[in-house]
Chain A
Amino acid sequence: MNRATRDNGAARAAGALALALAAWTVAPAADAGPAGVLPSAPLKATVIHWWTSGGESAAIKQFADAYNQAGGLWVDNAIAGADQSRATTINRIIGGNAPTAAQFNTSKQFRDFVDEGLLNNVDDVAIANHWDQVMPASILDAIKFNGHFYAAPVNIHMPAWFFYSKSAYKKAGIEREPQSFDEFLDQLGKLRAAGLVPLAFGGQVWQEKIMFDAVFAMVGGRELYLKVYRDRDVKAVQSDAFKQVLLNFRKLKAYIDPGSPGRNWNDATAMVVSGRAGVQIMGDWAKGEFSAAKQVAGRDFGCFPGFGPDAPYIVAGDAFVFPKTDDANAMKAQKLLATVLTTPANQVAFSLRKGSIPIRTDVDDAGFDLCARLGIAIIKDKARQLPNPEMLTTPDVNGELQDVLTKFWNKNQPVDEAQKAFARVIKR
C-alpha cells in the first residue's frame, strides 16, 4: 500500500528532522545548565523499552532506581507496543540519534544490527562478571556472536507454561498434573464433561504459535525441535514424527470455545482465573493476571512447564542492546547499565515484579512464587533448556511459520500440505 510506505517514509524523514532540531535546541541548553559544568555529572542513559503496563513499569523502575543510585541518570523512553518500540530504535539509529540502550527480545531481532556493526559490545562487563558461567547456554548463544557479547539479557520468560484452575480441576475430578500429552487430552475431556471450557485460548497468530511450540517441544521432543528450528532440516519436517506433532496440535482445537478467535491472551487467562475454563498454555507473564485477582500459585491455581520431570523448558526473554557510539561518556553509561542490569540483587528485584525469572543461576529464590521457583530450579539443568524458536530463526521466517500454522489450525488443511508449507519456509 502506497500510503503506508509514504507515511513511513515521511514519518522517518519528519522524525529525523525533529530529532535534529531537538538535538540542536537542547544541546546548548544542557551545556549551559549547572549540571553541564560539573565534572562529576551523572552518566546520562536514554533507554528505550516497551514496558508500559502496571507490573512492567514497576519492574523497570527497579533498574532505573538502581542505575541512578550507581551514579547514573536514567532517562526513560517507554514506548507502548513492542513493534513500535523496536521501530523507534531503528529510526533513531538511522537518524543518527541512537539511544544509550534499547530493548529487544533475546532473539534474532537484533542480529542485523550486529552484522551492520551498529552495536557496541559489552565484553568488559561480561568477562568481569563471568556471564559465561552464570547464564544459561541458550541465552548466551543469543547474545554472543564471534566471541563478543552484544546485549545484556535481563530476564527469562518461559512462553509455554500450563496454568490451571484448582477449582476447575477439582470440579472435573482431576487429581494430578498430567504426565503425558495423552493424559493431558484425557483431562481436557474430563473438564468438558464437567461443563467447563477445557482450554482457555485466544485465537491470535502468536498465541497459536506458542501453543504449537509447546506441543512441539512436548510431543516432538528436544531433538526434533532443534533439527527443525536450528538446523532447518527439511527431512525432519517431512518425517512422521513431525506429522504427529501437527496432528496433536490440532487435536487441541476440540477443547476450545467458539468465542476464542481474536481473543486477547489476558481475557483467556481471566477465564482460568474465574474457574470458567480449566487450563491455559501461556507465558509466565500470565501470572500477573492471577496476582491481580489475588490468587496464589499452588493454592488457587497450579502451574507446570510441561509433562513429567524431564519436560523441556523453553527459554525466551528480553535483552538490552547498546547502539554504537564514540562518545566516551555514553560508552561509560552503557557499561554501567550492563552492570546494573545483570547484578543479582537487581535481577531479583526486577523479575519479582515482571513475573519472569532471573538470567543468572546464582540468585536467591526465596521471594519468588511457586512457579518461578520451579523455573529457577529447572533452568540449572542444561539438558532441559530449549531455546525459543525466535532465537533460532529470523523474525521473517518466524512470521511466515505463524502464517503456515494459523492456516493449518483454522482451516481443515490436510497435514501433508501443512508439512510442505512448513518445509518451504524453513528452507528459505
Chain B
Amino acid sequence: MKPMTRKNLVVWIALLPMAATVLLAYLGTMLWSARMSVSGSRTFPSYDFVGAAQYMRLFDNERWLLSLQNVALYGVLFIAACLVIGFLLAVFIDQKVMAEGVLRTVFLYPYAMSFVATGLIWQWMLNPELGIQQVLRQMGFANARFDWIVDQDMVIYTLVIATVWQASGLVMALLLSGLRGIDEELWKAARIDGIPRWRVYASIVLPMLGPSLSTAFVLLFVMVVKVFDAVVAMTQGGPGTASEVPAKFIMDYLFGRANVGLASAASIVLLATVLAIVAPLYFVRGRASRLKEA
C-alpha cells in the first residue's frame, strides 16, 4: 500500500463535499424513500410498518399500470427516433456544409430551452382548433385532420414528436464529435477500394461510434424515465389518462393526493426498473473495455 502523500490528502479533502452530497442527497434520500414505501405515510412521513401493502395497492392501480405501459411505448419510440434523426443530422453536418456553426446551434437550440415553455407552443400547434389543422383548413384543405393531441390512441405520439424535436440535437452533438474523431485516412482507403459512402457509414463508421451511441442511449434513457414536464405542459396526462406517465403519478400522489407512502413505493419500483435496464448495459461496457485493455 502506498503511504498517503500530502497531495493525496488534499485531493481527498477536496472530494469530501462531493462524497457527502452523494451519500446524503442521493443514497440517503433513496434509502429514506425505501423506508417510506413500507410505511403508511400520508401527508407527513410516519415510521410505522405496513409491509408490502403500498406495493400491492400500487400494482392494483390501473393508472400506474397504464403509466408504465405508456412510458415503455414512449421510450422505445423516443430513443429510436432520436438516435436515427440525431445520427442523420450529424452525418449531414459532417459533409462540411456551409454555415456549419449556425446549423449546429439551430439543431441544438431546442435542448437549451425549457420544455415548460416550448411544450406550451407544441400544445397550441397541435390543438385542432388553433394549430396546424386549422392552418391547413384555412389554406383550403377542408378535410385536413391532425388532431392527435385530443385522440386517446394517438396522444402519446405527439409527446414523442415534441420531445424528439427537443432531444435529437443533443444526439447530433454527441455523434458529431464521434464522427470528427474518425481518421481521414479511413475515408481515403475506402475511396480507393471503391466502397460506396453509405456503406462506409453503415459498416465502418457506425460500429466505431459505439461509445458515443451508448452515451447517447443512457442520456436518452434517463430522459424517458423522468419525462414529466412535457406531459404536464402538453396534455396534463390526458385526454383522460391516455398520456399518464410514472413521474406524474408520483408527483400527484406525493403532494396533491397527500400519500407519501404510495408515491415512495412507486419511486422505488421505478428505480428498480432503471437499475435492471442500465446495470447490465454498464456491466457489458465495462467488460468490453477491460477486454480491450487486456
Shortest CB–CB separation between residue A415 and chain B, in angstroms?
A: 16
**Is residue B270 within 8 Å, beta carbon to beta carbon, of the partner chain?**
yes
Given contacts A13-B25, A13-B29, 7 further A-B contacts (CB under 8 A): A2-B268, A4-B254, A5-B30, A112-B44, A204-B236, A205-B236, A259-B128
Query: Could you tell me which residues of chain B, from 230 to 263, have a CB within 8 Å of some CB in chain A?
Result: 234-242, 246-247, 250-259, 262-263
**Residue in contact with B246 in the complex, picked from A1, A94, A203, A257, CB distance below 8 Å:** A1
**Residue in contact with B24 in the complex, picked from A13, A86, A113, A398, CB distance below 8 Å:** A13
Shortest CB–CB separation between residue A398 and chain B, in angstroms?
A: 8
Q: What are 28 A-to-B residue pairs whose CB atoms are below 8 Å?
A: A1-B226, A1-B247, A1-B266, A1-B267, A2-B30, A2-B225, A2-B267, A3-B225, A5-B29, A5-B250, A9-B32, A9-B33, A10-B26, A90-B43, A205-B236, A205-B238, A259-B129, A260-B150, A261-B235, A262-B127, A395-B256, A399-B252, A399-B253, A403-B62, A403-B241, A406-B241, A407-B240, A410-B239
A236-B264 Cα distance, complex, nearest whole Å: 33
Residues of A within 8 A of B26 (CB): 6, 10
Residues of B within 8 A of A112 (CB): 42-44, 258
Produce 1/0 per residue, A69-87, CB < 8 A to B: 0000000000000011011
* B-binding residues in A (CB < 8 A): 1-6, 8-10, 13, 83-84, 86-87, 90, 94, 109, 112-113, 116, 118, 203-205, 257-262, 394-396, 398-400, 403, 406-407, 409-411, 421
A86-B254 Cα distance, complex, nearest whole Å: 11
Q: Is the interface of A mostly helix, strand, loop or mixed?
A: helix
Residues of B within 8 A of A259 (CB): 127-130, 150
- Cβ–Cβ contact A403 & B63, under 8 A: yes
Closest to A428 in B: B57
- Cβ–Cβ contact A410 & B242, under 8 A: yes
- Cβ–Cβ contact A1 & B25, under 8 A: no
* A-binding residues in B (CB < 8 A): 24-26, 28-30, 32-33, 42-45, 61-63, 123, 127-130, 147, 149-150, 152, 222, 225-226, 228, 234-242, 246-247, 250-259, 262-264, 266-268, 270-271, 274
Residues of A within 8 A of B254 (CB): 4-5, 8
- Cβ–Cβ contact B29 & A406, under 8 A: no
Residues of B within 8 A of A87 (CB): 255
Shortest CB–CB separation between residue A405 and chain B, in angstroms?
A: 9
**Residue in contact with A411 in the complex, picked from B33, B228, B240, CB distance below 8 Å:** B240
- Cβ–Cβ contact B241 & A396, under 8 A: no
- Cβ–Cβ contact A2 & B274, under 8 A: yes
